[in-house]
Structure 1
Amino acid sequence: MTSLALDRRTLIRSAAALPLARAFPAWAQSGTAGLRPTPGILSGDRIELAVSESHFTTGGRSAHAVTINGTLPAPLIRLKEGQNVQLVVHNLLKEDTSIHWHGLIVPFHMDGVPGISFPGIRPGETFTYEFPIRQSGTYWYHSHSGMQEAMGHYGPIVIDPAGADPVRADREHVIVLSDWSPVHPHKLMQRLKQMGGYYNMQKQTLAGLLKGRDQSLKDRMDWGRMRMDPTDISDVTGSTYSYLVNGHGTAENWIGLFAPGERVRLRIVNASAMTNFNLRLPGLAMTVVQCDGQHVQPVETDEFQIAIAETYDVIVEPAEAKPYGLIAEAIDRSGLVRATLAPQVGMIAPVPPLRQRPLLTMKDMGMDMSGMDMGHNGVIDLSQPANDGMAGHSMKMLDPSVAPQVPMGPGVATLSPMPADRTADRPTGLEDVDHRVLTYADLKALKPNGDTRAPTRSLDIHLTANMERYMWSFDGVKLSDGAEPIAFRHMERVRVTLINDTMMPHPIHIHGHFFQLVTGEDAAANPRKHTVNVLPGGKVSFDLTADAIGDWAFHCHMLMHMHAGMMRVVTVRHDGGAA
């Protein structure tokens, strides 16, 4: 192992004994000059990682953490396309752990999902992951055990290409976004099950009505009849979360250095448990050059939404010797984190005020108001339950054939009557800003996709929920309720359409594969991704070539949605059924 001047025993002792409140790896420390050269980056053909308990403090809040080699975020792993790597993971916890290599194409038994691809790593045991590196780009790694990911078990991966990098940059920084609460994630989930809007502190008020900031009285009454809350945008909010850049809150001000006139590459990872961020650099345009580790045709924007588990690489070119604020704002605008790009240590970019929180609309419930049958008072009649078990708060489907495979019941409170393709829509919270906003429709593959065959079959998958009871599922069935695997034949080409029947966006991730997101007519130019954010009341389609034999996880990357049941197993088999 070329990156650590420690033997294995010293590494394990150090990680187990490290109770430091503020332990950062070198790449994540404030004032870093960038990734080259940076001490402490893990590289080479054999890398050792020790998962242990620590404490973490930010913004005056301190709590138990799960860390790797004693740091939060975890060490940066830097690899090279074409190499073979061994990643030796020591579990020093009192519970099982695991590591999933998010976005990496690996043999399924090295994918790191307990109960699907391997049994997990028991306390005191060591597991060695070993696989070839078949790609390049920006990725990350995290636990797939319990809710350790929400407690600090995550870190970035950078893979350099075997040949020339099409992205030219003078300097690069890794930006890992995350959310942190001193409340244990199991307690957060318990509270959400008791009351779905437990952490929503931004509900409409009389003052908002009088000042014209919120819905009109009529709209409020209409939404109240449907038992819907237009402010219910995020489950866990800034009321308990601290938002972090590389482990630093706003007051701690992470600084990444630059020299005026440089092309600076920012490798941005959203490693949050439950927060989608709207990201901007006021005064600096961003040129998006990579998404989910895959090169895209450069596209300039002023702001974009990065969903949980996505990565974006952008180029910025700061011309002036002044600080620039990197602003990651939660999509419900319950909080933000400011970091600083600056020419020298000690400079601080301003913190902008939080923008007005958005309100959901009929479109977010999958209803195109044009052409819909209105009731006698001009309101769509959605007050009748679609099923006796729906507790009176279900939307009535206009056409039962919309989702014939979705079993109605207490876990499915709504079905979108008219879900629309929203890949060209501005995402939640950015609908009305007065500057450029990236949409999925703006992303085009840099090089033509290799497989552009027409799909031989199509598959619709509904994202379903009862938000009041905090029940989440695919097609109305939770994984724990015996959901059947989604079966593919090896190398078949399938058009998958995700239909969001809920009022929240969902970042949906498939393991072991990349898919081509359908954003236009030219299949060769559709962007390749491993995670896609499905907007409320919307649908997205992607073409998947099932080229990886094995059993793979397929789930919402909102950690609590996944644990509540929004997860399935994808199986890829040869025609005869053998693995």
Structure 2
Amino acid sequence: MKSIFLLLLTLTAAHARVVEYDLHISERNWAPPGHRETRAITVNGGIPGPTIRFHVGDTARIRVHNELKNEDTSIHWHGLILPNPQDGVPGVTTPSIRPGTTLTYEFPIKHAGTYWYHSHTTLQEQMGVYGSIVIEPQGGEPVKADRDHVVVLSDWTHERADEVMRTLASGRDWYSFKKGSMQSLTGAAKAGALKEFFEREKSRMPAMDISDVAYDAFLANGRESIDLPGKPGETLRLRFINAAAATYFYLQSATGPLKIVAADGPAVEPIRVKRLLTGMAETYDVLVTVPPSGKWEIRATSQDGSGHSSVWIGEGEEHPAADIPKPDNYRMDHHLMAAMDEMDMKPMSEAEALDHEPERPLSPYARLRALHSTELPAKLPRRTLKMRATGDMERYVWSFNGKTFAEDGIIPIKRGEVLRLELINDTMMHHPLHLHGHFFRVLMGQGKYSPLKHTIDLPPMASRTVEFEASESGDWLFHCHLLYHMHAGMTRIFSYQDPKWQPPGKLKPGTNIVCNDICCLPGNPEAKTGTVDPRQLGHVPHGGGHDHDPLYYYLDGSVQSHLSDGRLTLRNSHNDFYADWFIGYGDDDNEYEVDVAWSRYFNPNFSSVLGWRFTDKEDEENRAFAGVNYRLPYLINSFAQLDSEGDVRLGLGKSIQVTDGLSIFTEIQYDTGSEWEWSAGADWLLNKQFSLTTEYHSDHGFGGGIRFRF
């Protein structure tokens, strides 16, 4: 019997249909209709790239042609189970595609569903390198529809993607200002949230936002609004793919609840939801029925409420979808309420679930059920890894367990074990976490019918638990699919080790080991359940560019009628190399002071500094100095320095955002050499680069001018 089965498999493989595509990646100026064109990278001349279609049992043969002049590129086949060398992550699984060359991917199509492809090189995904994949099951879809449409959701910015990353790493509030989510004193007063405003500042937390970037457009199939064909009474299957770089979307239909029939590819027991939150890299197949008359909107609204794209079905009078309430950024509890409700959720009927659905729901994982058992064999050994999502919004450093990929990037695993990941979010942002080359079970009370996914939303201050069988080989990326979080360090590699390698402790079938450190590497004092002999640590992969920690430059300063001050900085995740200047002029009181220094960043509240001061101030001379910077409650910045001449300098500073555009500031310092000095002023934000500023300085009087930021 076994030999007959093997023969059938061989014959099937020999007669598998080979489906071929050519994808041409090239640079051109592009924009969605109604927007000014900017540099983009397209697939076959468009954004998104073409939909590529297969049937289960096919062999995919895809030639990717890099027609860029000076850039490597790549394509990752998101959500597909395929041989490791075909996964498309440069330097980890697959070579980069050099300019002017072609790489042919070839792999078997093993499972059905809605998936997508995108570049895993630098920030090319934001620039347009993405497209959709549809795989039909043998025998057709379990839930039938009259028509089938793919809807690729994305976000679009006129800025260069690397400039977006640099802006985020600067800690500036420009994107909050641009999209109208800046927190201010008057805004808190209007929202009746002054108490929450000052409590946040007292706890030393910066202003909160739920989305990083201010986008110029949100797109469905490359446009802000599209029309899909469908006759009255027909059922449409809409394959939604969130291909955005940094945007969660709420989906809502004017026709009524959406019927979910598949999530991340695999079919699920159909459920209905009023609103569906979809994270970056997730896919959902939903069914809607075209009403007898009229034109009806299915709207994809950005989670921060800054915009939407529209999908229209039917013809006639327009029926728009309802607006989704915008988030309340002044009250953090507003963001946590849905997570708390979810934890308290009890089994409900579909009608009860619809009736109790919040206005801004979380993802519907607790209601998703697989069509068949997804239980993993009980005989397999099990290991639990705790992974905490950590980050620092001000410097834009994102990590797992407090370490970026550059600091601690490898999680060694062994084929044949079951890995249970306890995912805990210590930040106030959502994180869509994606595992390459595997499906994991989402454990939220469905038992053996736990749904299979490859991407899961981890809400703020909440937790999720997933598990998967280590059934592959090689190195597989696990990362936040918010593109800029991934590049800022929220990435790991699950690295299959030599068969002789053993995880911490002795793994016997059915046993469970909890590893407090995600990597369980030798020498880690937190690996309390066992240690690893360094000789057992086999293959350790290269980071493939995900382990970089780039330097960014920033210039912030002012030119005023009575003084000029500012800072030129080179920054990476933990270091600032900077030059400060202060030049006072006018009358007979001219003076300057320039600090050239290195600051080491430890956490949002503490950093050290070491440098050299050049000055012509009275009673002072050039000298070395060292000190610390510490953030006090109410976001008051303080510093203490000791210089090589034995003088001590102490200082305090505070700024307050009064309105969206107006901020006020004050600084005071005491130096045992030059004694007291203080200033106070105001800035009025004009655009990303410039502000109007006015300032009174204790030594140089009152003046005003321009403040600049580059």
**Which TM-score applies when normalising by structure 2?**
0.63
Larger relative contact order (C-alpha < 8 A, sep ≥ 6)? 1
Aligned counterpart for 1:567 among listed residues 491, 508, 519: 491
Matches within 5 A, 1:84-233: 84-93=59-68, 94-200=70-176, 201-205=180-184, 208-211=187-190, 214-229=191-206, 231-233=208-210
Contact 2:242 2:281 in 1 (8 A): yes
Change (3 A) 1:55 1:354: farther
Residue correspondences, number:
473
Matches within 5 A, 1:11-90: 45-58=19-32, 59-90=34-65
Say if 1:364 and 1:536, in contact at 8 Å, map to a contact too: no
- Note if contact 2:193-2:330 (Cα within 8 Å) is conserved in structure 1: no
Whichever residue aligns with residue 128 of structure 2, its letter is G
Deviations 1:52-84 (A, max 9, x none): 112212232321111111111100000110111
1 CA distance for matches of 2:171 and 2:37? Answer: 25
The 3-state SS of whatever aligns with 1:135 is: coil
In structure 1, distance between residues paired with 2:341 and 2:182: 28
Structure-2 change in CA distance of 1:315 and 1:432 (3 Å): closer
* CA positional deviation for 1:282: 2.0
* Superposition map of 1:308-457 within 5 A: 308-343=280-315, 348-350=318-320, 355-359=325-329, 361=331, 433=358, 439-451=364-376, 453=378, 456-457=382-383
- Distance, in Å, in 1 between the alignment partners of 2:248 and 2:345 is 16
- Tell me, yes or no, if the aligned pair for 2:114 and 2:133 is still in contact at 8 Å: yes
SS, match of residue 104 in structure 2: strand
Letter in 2 for 1:443: L
Q: CA deviation at 1:340?
A: 0.9
Letter of the structure 2 residue corresponding to residue 538 of structure 1:
A
> Quick check: 2:74–2:88 contact (8 Å CA) kept in 1?
yes
> SS where residue 319 of structure 1 aligns?
coil
CA distance in 1 between counterparts of 2:172 and 2:371 reads 42
Instruction: Specify the SS of the correspondent of 1:254.
Output: strand
Gaps of 5+ in 1: 1-42, 369-418
Q: Which of 377, 383, 387 is the matching residue for 1:461?
A: 387
Output the amino acid matched with 2:139: G
- Matched with 1:33 is none
CA–CA distance in 1 between the matches of 2:399 and 2:360? 36
1:319 to partner: Cα distance: 2.8
- How far apart are 1:449 and its partner, in Å? 1.1
1:207 to partner: Cα distance: 5.2
Q: Which of 261, 282, 285 in structure 1 is aligned with 2:257?
A: 285
CA distance 1:529–1:87, change in 2 (3 Å): same
Distance 1:198 1:436, change over 3 A: closer
Pick from 214, 220, 224 the counterpart of residue 245 of structure 1: 220
Give the 3 Å change call, closer, same or farther, for CA 215–513 of structure 1 in structure 2.
farther
Determine which of 493, 513, 521 is the counterpart of 2:438: 513
Contact between 2:188 and 2:330, CA under 8 Å: does it hold in 1? no
Task: Note closer, same or farther for the CA distance 1:434–1:145 as it changes in structure 2 (3 Å cut).
Answer: closer
| Matches of 2:360 and 2:329, distance apart in 1 | 19
Question: Retained in 2: the 8 A contact 1:169–1:265?
Answer: yes
Measure the CA separation in 1 of the matches of 2:159 and 2:285: 32
Q: 1:423 to 1:132 in 2, by over 3 A?
A: farther
- The change in CA–CA distance for 1:264 and 1:361 in structure 2 (over 3 A counts) is same
Please state how far the C-alpha of 1:119 moved relative to its aligned partner.
2.2
Q: Kindly tell me: are residues 421 and 547 of structure 1, through their superposed partners in 2, closer, same or farther at Cα, counting changes over 3 Å? A: farther
Q: Note closer, same or farther for the CA distance 1:136–1:477 as it changes in structure 2 (3 Å cut).
A: same
| Separation in 2, partners of 1:423, 1:191 | 36
Q: Tell me, what secondary structure is at the counterpart of 1:283?
A: coil
Structure 1 residues 437 and 273, CA gap change in structure 2 (3 angstroms): closer
Residue 235 (1) aligns with residue 212 (2): yes
Equivalent-residue separation in structure 2 for 1:190 and 1:167 (angstroms): 46
Report the Cα offset of residue 259 of structure 1.
Answer: 1.1
Q: Give the corresponding residue for 1:407.
A: none
Distance (Å, rounded) in 2 between the aligned partners of 1:112 and 1:531: 17
Contact map agreement 1:327 1:336 (CA 8 A) in 2: yes
The aligned counterpart of 1:475 is: 401
Structure 2 counterpart of 1:557, one-letter code: H
Letter of the 1:199 partner, please give it.
Y
CA contact (8 A) 2:21 2:62 kept: yes
Cα shift readout 1:536-568 (whole Å, capped 9, x = no counterpart): 011100011111111011100000000111111
Q: Work out the CA distance in 2 between the residues paired with 1:199 and 1:455.
A: 47
Q: 1:528 deviation in Å?
A: 0.3
SS of the residue aligned with 1:480?
Answer: coil
Asked if 1:533 is matched to 2:457, the reply is: yes
Match of residue 542 from structure 1? 466
Is contact 2:253–2:298 with CA below 8 Å preserved after alignment?
A: yes
* The structure with more radius of gyration: 2
1:363–1:551 Cα change, 3 Å: farther
1:244-279 deviations in whole A, cap 9, x for unaligned? 011001xxx210011111111000000000000111
Counting aligned pairs with the same residue, the percent is 39
Structure 2 residue 501 is matched with structure 1 residue 501: no
Q: 1: CA distance between counterparts of 2:67 and 2:112?
A: 31
Q: Cα distance 1:367–1:137, how it changes in 2: closer, same or farther (>3 A)? A: closer
Q: Residues 436 and 517 (structure 1 numbering): CA distance in 2 closer, same or farther, change over 3 Å? A: closer
Counterparts of 2:453 and 2:216, CA distance in 1: 28
Which of the pair is proportionally richer in strand? Answer: 2
Conserved in 1, the CA contact under 8 Å of 2:386 and 2:422? yes
- Measure how far apart 1:343 and its partner are: 4.1
Q: How many Å separate the matches in 1 of 2:41 and 2:135?
A: 25
C-alpha separation between the residues in 1 aligned to 2:246 and 2:486?
A: 11
